[in-house]
Amino acid sequence: MKEQLQKDFKNIIKNLNLSQKDIEIKKFSLDNFIEKGFPNRKEEDWRFSDLNQIIKKNIGELSFYCDYASTNKVDTSVFVDGLEHNKIVFINGRIEKIDFDYEKKNQIEIIDQSETINRFSNNNSLSDLNNAFTNKCFKILVKKGYQLSKPLIIYHTFNSKIWSKNINLRLDFELNQDSSLRVIDLFNEASEKNFLNIFYNFDLKENAILKNYKVDKLQNKNVKYSFNNIDQDKNSISETFILSSGSNFSKNEINCNLRGVHASAFVNGVFSLNNDKHHEIRTIINHLTENTKSYQLIKSVLEQSSKAVYQGKIFVDPQAQKTDGYQLSKAILLNEESEFNAKPELEIYADDVKCSHGSASGSLNDNSIFYLMSRGLSYQQSRELLINGFLLDVVEKITDPEVKNLIKNMIGIKE
């Protein structure tokens, strides 16, 4: 892999016009990655999902070179109908389009910041990989007091030209005081067997509101890793919803730092898996100051030999008195081959806190099925009704009505 990395790296550098400083930074990251390699099960964070093995099994040999120089045609048919929205379109990892047509132009700034390196606090080699190979890093800055009228949809699309590629993306968002932003990540993947490595950084200033919906619904054979870092100032709110379903492997990490008083974070997730898919959500909520709140709800429905993992951690700093932290994960195993692993973790250093977590896993309740069947439903109908109800609980937590409907339609939940 080492030769492949170095060769592809040279090709990329050749095709891009980078400053000397930029090349040095990228080289440094590359060396770090070569030293560490892909994370494996020996690392505590990856003990349930050995990425090294997963890439070997699902993809085989990866190549890291992406042709960033030539443009790709934007296929408008993938765009969401019936919902007016702003767009960022990635095709094969290259930004083809950024448009904020519905917004006031002077309120949003798009800054090219390829020269600044991002230091993500996730301590794994994937951030090095990302730093070494990302093409361009844009920062989207929402100015003070501006609330975007329409949601922003980020399309992650591919054309059939690429396979067995590593694709690295990075975006930075800064939400200034009293601003708000809704971001929807949509994965439409026609390609096969690529490894996506996505890093987002959100910086929320006072009273800012961020809503991020990650929707991975369409069946595809990709391996995906996504990392969200969210820094929150006073009174800010972040809401993250994850629908984890389509990819062969997917790991979503949320690292949230509640730095200002009365900041709150909500993470809700749904795993709906079949075949031999293997998905994971890992959250770390750091309560760093007084009166902060976090709430997490993760539900899984597992069919065939699929596997879901939830690792959630609530950290409470000695300063963070009056913290309110809650975490619940529930799983229904529908097949004897399916598997659910959980590691709900509390690390608490302050005494005046209210923190709790719960985790439950098991099969569908026979009594409930019996109840519904005795009222005339077939077994299949009763089962669907129960599963829909189980998942609807999480979808209902979405606070944005437009997006809630969009997602309900995608999952096929009827009310």
Partner 1 sequence: MDKRQKEIDNLKDYKYGFSTDIENIKAPKGLNEEVIKFISKIKKEPEWMLNFRLKAFERFKLLKEPDWQKPKYPKIDYQDLYYYSAPKSMKDKPKSLDELDPKLLETYKKLGIPLQEQARLNGIAVDAVFDSVSVATTFREELTKHGIIFCPISEAIQKHPELVKKYLGSVIPTTDHFFATLNSAVFTDGSFAYIPEGVRCPMELSTYFRINASNTGQFERTLIIADKGSYVSYLEGCTAPMRDENQLHAANVELIALDDAEIKYSTVQNWYPGDKDGKGGIYNFVTKRGLCKGKNSKISWTQVETGSAITWKYPSCILKGDNSVGEFYSIAITNNHQKADTGTKMIHLGKNTKSKIISKGISAGFSDMTYRGLVDISSKANNSTNYTQCDSLLMGNKCGAHTVPYIRNKNSESNIAHEATTSKISEEQLHYCQQRGLNPEEAVGLIVNGFCKEVLQQLPMEFAVEAQKLVGISLEGSVG
Contacts to partner 1 by CB under 8 A: 44, 318, 321, 331, 333-363
In the complex, least distance from residue 291 CB atom to partner 1, rounded to whole angstroms: 15
| Shorter beta-carbon distance to partner 1: residue 34 or 348 | 348
| Shorter beta-carbon distance to partner 1: residue 153 or 353 | 353
Q: Which two tokens stand for residue 192?
A: 């096969």
291, 264 Cβ separation under 8 angstroms:
no
In the complex, least distance from residue 355 CB atom to partner 1, rounded to whole angstroms: 5
In the complex, least distance from residue 341 CB atom to partner 1, rounded to whole angstroms: 5
In the complex, least distance from residue 366 CB atom to partner 1, rounded to whole angstroms: 10
In the complex, least distance from residue 288 CB atom to partner 1, rounded to whole angstroms: 15
How many Cα atoms occupy the beta-carbon half-sphere of 5 within 13 Å?
19
In the complex, least distance from residue 414 CB atom to partner 1, rounded to whole angstroms: 26
| Shorter beta-carbon distance to partner 1: residue 346 or 385 | 346
In the complex, least distance from residue 13 CB atom to partner 1, rounded to whole angstroms: 39
| Shorter beta-carbon distance to partner 1: residue 145 or 358 | 358
User: 163 — phi, psi (to 5°)?
Assistant: -155, 160
In the complex, least distance from residue 53 CB atom to partner 1, rounded to whole angstroms: 18
Q: Is 104 left (phi over 0), alpha (psi -120 to 50) or beta?
A: beta
Alpha-helical (H) ranges within 156-211 are none
Helix (H, G, I), strand (E, B) or coil at 289: coil
| Shorter beta-carbon distance to partner 1: residue 3 or 44 | 44
In the complex, least distance from residue 413 CB atom to partner 1, rounded to whole angstroms: 23
| Shorter beta-carbon distance to partner 1: residue 79 or 295 | 295
